[in-house]
Amino acid sequence: MIRIENLCKKYPGRDGGLVTAVEDVSFEVDEGQICVLLGPSGCGKTTTLKMINRLIEPTSGKVHIAGRDTSVMDAVSLRRTIGYVIQQVGLFPNMTVEQNICAVPDLLGWDKVKSRKRAAELLDIVALDPGQFLKRFPKELSGGQQQRVGVARALAADPPVMLMDEPFGAIDPINRETIQDEFMRIQRQVKKTVLFVSHDIDEAVKMADRIAVFRNGRIEQYATPDEMLARPASGFVADFMGS
Ligand code: ADP
Ligand code: MG
């Protein structure tokens, strides 16, 4: 289970004051569940996600994963237990698709033959033909194909927790539906605890066990998709979900 308590992130502003990116955010995600962080651009979704794997250190507040306070853990070992799909994909340009997918297993010193076999299976899972794609470099892929490799790479070390920042944002609508369905099929088998950033309401309703609607760095409502559609907590949520 992931427990997020009173997370805040403030940055120094131009006028000498502070800019608040995330303000007093608290919520819990049960093991094996998908939580979607939903909201308009600039509302603090990415900042919240990056405070979970400590790519951004919180100004205040705590994150507990499986009962452990992440602030006292070694940040690098913490990140190796958390799969991360970033908004800008971030594949290593000088490595092939196969090397990208095997990057963390290699760092962890896993058996190379097994991790290469797994890389091919993972490509299959994200609907890319291994024979065609394993030896390609990122620049030889479309944006959507790169995102799928990003998802495969995040799954490679079989982490219990996955953080995904708009992972399907660059994929065209038809393929996006396919890959969402694929992801849900995989999720039924692997049961990761997933925090998933989206600004797409249909995607959130389809994939989430819980949705956190953000507004100006705060959580406006945290609920199941059904609850949120039936009983929006504010006019903002109603407008956002209705749009
Ligand atoms: P989202 O992912 O929801 O689009 P972000 O979490 O990236 O939003 O950003 C939340 C807010 O914090 C935005 O207003 C953004 O401009 C601000 N912000 C993010 N990073 C920084 C930074 N390094 N310095 C100052 N302000 C930042
Ligand atoms: Mg973002």
Atom number in ligand 1 closest to CA 44 = 6
Ligand whose nearest atom lies closest to the CA of 44: 1
CA of 196 to the centre of ligand 2 (A): 11
For residue 216, how far is its CA from the centre of ligand 1 (angstroms)? 10
| Residue nearest atom 12 in ligand 1 by C-alpha distance | 21
Q: What is the DSSP string of 40-98?
A: STTSSHHHHHHHHTTSS--SEEEEEETTEEGGGS-HHHHHHTEEEEBTTB---TTS-HH
Average pLDDT of every residue of the chain: 91
Query: Could you tell me where the DSSP H helices lie in the chain?
Result: 45-52, 75-80, 97-101, 103-107, 112-125, 130-133, 143-155, 173-190, 201-207, 225-230, 235-242
Residue nearest to atom 22 of ligand 1 (CA): 11
pLDDT value, residue 21: 97
Higher pLDDT, 151 or 30: 30
Asked whether the predicted pLDDT for residue 43 surpasses 90, the reply is: yes
- Kindly indicate the confidence band of residue 29, based on its pLDDT and cuts at 50, 70 and 90: very high
What's the pTM? Answer: 0.89
Residues with CB under 6 A from ligand 1: 11, 19, 21, 39, 41-47
Cα distance between residue 97 and residue 162, in whole Å: 20
pLDDT digits (tens, 9 = 90+) for 112-131: 999 999 999 999 888 899 99
Residues 211-220 have pLDDT tens digits of: 999 999 999 9
How large is the average pLDDT for residues 49-65? 96
Substitution candidate for ligand 1 out of 36, 46, 219 with most atoms within 8 A of CB? 46
User: What value does the mean pLDDT take over residues 51-59?
Assistant: 95
C-alpha to C-alpha distance for 36 and 208, rounded to whole angstroms: 6
**Can you tell me which atom of ligand 1 is nearest the CA of 13?**
25
- Sort strands 210-215 and 34-38 into parallel, antiparallel or unpaired: parallel
Find the ligand nearest to 166 CA. Answer: 2
Angle formed by the axes of helices 143-155 and 173-190, nearest 10°:
10
CA distance 162 to 160: 7
What pLDDT was estimated at residue 243? 63
Length of the chain: 243
Between these two residues, 169 and 11, which has the higher pLDDT value? 11
pLDDT of residue 218: 97
Q: What is the pLDDT of residues 60-108, one digit of tens each?
A: 999 999 999 999 999 988 988 898 887 667 899 999 999 999 988 888 8
Axis-axis angle for helices 112-125, 143-155 (nearest 10): 130
Give 233's contacts (C-beta < 8 A, 6+ positions apart).
220, 221, 223
Residue 171 has pLDDT above 80, yes or no: no
Ligand 1 center from residue 7 Cα (angstroms) = 14
Report how far apart the first and last C-alpha atoms of the chain are (Å, whole number).
32
Distance 88 CA to ligand 2 centre (A): 10
Give the pairing of strands 210-215 and 218-223: antiparallel
Q: What is the DSSP letter of 167?
A: T
pLDDT of residue 107: 81
